[in-house]
């Protein structure tokens, strides 16, 4: 049937920026052995200095071992030997570089980096926000705050994972600040609302440009793919001397929250609530035109008039809908056609953006990676409804992650997967969750495609249960790296820091629970004890971090 869309309204209302502050000081903690502060240097001397400045905890690695993605070559950068354990990175606060292009709380950040190094952390991850760097006008890039951060990370003897964040920050789980897309992009969206994802009710979501317009010159004469490619090329040229030695990985944003998916479960304004099934996002004019063309090619023109009419609403459960219930429309000929088209469009989008990234970063020595969301709710049902609306055609009878892994393998990209910390027994029974089975399925898909698998935790966790789950998963899945979410005030609390230090060592040792450094005489009050002793002598910058 024909569908009439309501006038566009946004899911997302502006959020007041609220920084996640973290506990830090200007002096290094007791166990840190620091490299000398570098001056101006050539790329060759910078690489040599970085090798000499490797963290103390990494000293036992043999000379032949390589870091995650450190093999050089093309965009994938695989090669060389492997260390026994799994290197741990830590995500920096979302507003590390703020909306105005400034590095936030620089001195406190520098001290926190020293603490992370003392714990044996490999490096840190940071979002490189499109809405910050190209905020002024098309083709005008401001990399200065990120350049300052890269130098700071180098001085700390750490490595960097840098995320090409082509999405908005704000409106999803864990978002603590509001960083919209560039203003000139929002102007284009205002004049052409079909540039953004749209649901069946006509509501628009400005988190990320709709993949339906990938090949159309909707951004002042350039296509979104061209804009992303130009952005990455400017980044490469600005940081060429650091790629492959300080900047080890480029994670390429492919959708909302940087993940390869549709924005099917937005939390802003109460639109969706866990464990709702979400909604299909295929109702902008570009997606509808593609659906119509696919239906005509399949010989069923009537299938292209709209998305499924019986797919329910964001907060519903599968059995409350005609499409997702046990023997629902999803398992019919029409359902298979629609799901193949919907997931296929997402795969093609990922391939286009990663092809651009591969061309830009080939030969730099940096690995490229892409993140896939861990949508574990309703996994134990036949239809896997929440995965379907997000664009993963994964059901009881159809593997949705094998095609994704194969696409990433073609582009030499690491598959970065979330929810590594979750256990089935900890999930609410009514949600039919199984994060453990989901991780096992993705692990099998990655192995079959011969693509590296890396991991993240989906939610902030500081407990022994979560850390132990990650350690076990890392060993069983052979993770090439794990990125911990996230560095903030809570991480440096005494009990949490104790657990985290032990976790990092267990990951490095391949799952063995190692003792803390001998200089930690307070039994893992490492750095936290240093902070407590220095409370009365803080600089203004350090005080602001608490």
The three state secondary structure string of 24-79 is CCCCCCCCCCCCCCCCCCCHHHHHHHHHHCCCHHHCCCCCCECCCCCCCCCCCCCC
Q: Residue 177's pLDDT band (boundaries 50, 70, 90)?
A: confident
345, pLDDT greater than 60: yes
189, pLDDT greater than 70: yes
Q: What pLDDT is recorded for position 90? A: 98
Q: Structure pTM?
A: 0.82
Cα gap 93→412, rounded to integer Å: 28
Percentage above 90 pLDDT, the chain: 76
Q: What pLDDT is recorded for position 510? A: 87
**For 421-467, how does the pLDDT look when each residue is reduced to its tens digit (9 = 90+)?**
999 999 999 999 999 999 999 999 999 999 999 999 999 999 999 99
The answer for 465, left when phi > 0, alpha when psi is -120 to 50, beta otherwise, is: alpha
Query: Residue 167, annotated ligand binder?
Result: yes
Q: Residue 512's pLDDT band (boundaries 50, 70, 90)?
A: low
Q: What pLDDT is recorded for position 144? A: 98
9, pLDDT greater than 80: no
| Residues with catalytic roles | 259, 456
Query: Residue 458, annotated ligand binder?
Result: yes
Q: What pLDDT is recorded for position 173? A: 64
Percentage above 70 pLDDT, the chain: 77
Q: What pLDDT is recorded for position 212? A: 98
Q: Residue 170's pLDDT band (boundaries 50, 70, 90)?
A: confident
Average pLDDT (386-396) is 98
Average pLDDT (120-134) is 98
Average pLDDT (185-205) is 97
Least confident window among 71-75, 305-309, 361-365, 417-421 = 71-75
Question: Taking all residues of the chain, what is their mean pLDDT, rounded to a whole number?
Answer: 84
Q: What pLDDT is recorded for position 172? A: 65
Average pLDDT (49-55) is 37
Query: Residue 175, annotated ligand binder?
Result: yes
Query: Residue 16, annotated ligand binder?
Result: no
Q: What pLDDT is recorded for position 57? A: 38
Query: For helices 435-449 and 402-410, what crossing angle results, to 10°?
Result: 40
Query: Residue 371, annotated ligand binder?
Result: yes
- For residue 10, the cross-strand partners are 204
Query: Residue 457, annotated ligand binder?
Result: yes
Average pLDDT (59-69) is 35
Q: What pLDDT is recorded for position 528? A: 36
Query: Residue 78, annotated ligand binder?
Result: no
Average pLDDT (293-313) is 98
175, pLDDT greater than 90: no
Q: What pLDDT is recorded for position 86? A: 97
**For 92-101, how does the pLDDT look when each residue is reduced to its tens digit (9 = 90+)?**
999 999 999 9
| Alpha-helix residue ranges (DSSP H) falling in 156-219 | 183-191
- Looking at the chain, how many residues does it have? 546
* Token pair belonging to 371: 């993140």
Cβ neighbours of residue 290 closer than 8 Å, sequence gap 6 or more: 212, 341, 345
Whether 188 and 196 have beta carbons less than 8 Å apart is answered as: no
Average pLDDT (520-546) is 37
């Amino acid at each position: 049937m024909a569908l009439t869309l309501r006038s566009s309204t946004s899911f997302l209302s502006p959020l007041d920026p609220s920084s996640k502050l973290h506990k830090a000081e200007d002096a290094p903690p007791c166990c840190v052995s620091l490299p000398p502060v570098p001056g101006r240097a050539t790329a060759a001397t910078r690489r040599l200095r970085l090798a000499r400045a490797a963290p103390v905890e990494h000293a036992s690695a043999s000379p032949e071992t390589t870091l995650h993605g450190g093999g050089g070559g093309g965009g994938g950068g695989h090669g060389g030997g492997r260390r026994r354990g799994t290197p741990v990175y830590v995500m920096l606060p979302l507003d590390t570089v703020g909306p105005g292009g400034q590095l936030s709380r620089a001195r406190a950040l520098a001290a926190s980096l020293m603490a992370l190094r003392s714990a044996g952390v490999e490096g840190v991850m940071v979002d490189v926000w499109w809405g910050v760097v190209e905020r002024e006008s098309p083709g005008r890039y401001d990399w200065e705050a990120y350049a300052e951060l890269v130098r700071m990370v180098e001085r700390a003897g750490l490595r960097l994972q840098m995320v090409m964040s082509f999405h908005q920050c704000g409106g999803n789980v864990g978002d603590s600040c509001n960083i919209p897309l560039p203003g000139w992009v929002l102007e284009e969206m205002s004049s052409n609302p079909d540039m953004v994802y749209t649901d069946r009710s006509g509501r628009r979501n400005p988190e990320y440009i709709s993949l339906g317009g990938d090949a159309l010159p909707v951004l002042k004469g350039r296509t979104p793919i061209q804009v992303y490619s130009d952005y990455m090329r400017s980044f490469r040229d600005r940081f060429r001397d650091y790629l492959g030695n300080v900047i080890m990985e480029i994670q390429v944003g492919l959708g909302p929250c940087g993940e390869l998916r549709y924005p099917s479960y937005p939390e802003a304004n109460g639109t969706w609530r866990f464990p709702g099934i979400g909604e299909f996002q295929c109702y902008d004019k570009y997606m509808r035109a593609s659906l119509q063309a696919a239906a005509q090619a399949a010989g069923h023109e009537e299938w292209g008039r709209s998305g499924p009419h019986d797919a329910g609403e964001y907060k519903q459960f599968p059995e409350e809908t005609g499409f997702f219930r046990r023997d629902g429309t999803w398992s019919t000929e029409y359902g298979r056609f629609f799901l193949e088209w919907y997931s296929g469009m997402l795969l093609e989008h990922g391939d286009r953006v990663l092809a651009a990234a591969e061309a830009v970063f080939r030969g730099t020595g940096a690995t490229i990676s892409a993140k896939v969301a861990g949508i574990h709710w309703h996994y134990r049902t036949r239809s896997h409804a929440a995965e379907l609306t997000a664009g993963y055609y994964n059901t009881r009878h159809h593997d949705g992650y094998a095609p994704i892994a194969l696409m990433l393998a073609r582009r030499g990209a690491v598959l970065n997967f979330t929810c590594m910390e979750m256990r089935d027994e900890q999930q609410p029974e009514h949600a039919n969750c199984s994060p453990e089975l989901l991780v096992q399925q993705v692990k099998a898909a990655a192995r079959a495609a011969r693509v590296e698998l890396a991991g993240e935790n989906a939610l902030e966790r500081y407990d022994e249960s979560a850390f132990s789950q990650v350690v076990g998963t890392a060993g069983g899945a052979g993770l090439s790296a794990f990125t911990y979410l996230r560095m903030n005030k809570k991480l440096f609390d005494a009990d949490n820091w104790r657990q985290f230090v032990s976790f990092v060592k267990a990951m490095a040792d391949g799952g063995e629970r190692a003792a803390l450094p001998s200089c930690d005489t307070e039994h893992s009050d490492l750095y936290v004890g240093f902070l407590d002793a220095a409370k009365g002598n803080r600089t203004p910058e350090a005080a602001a971090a608490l």
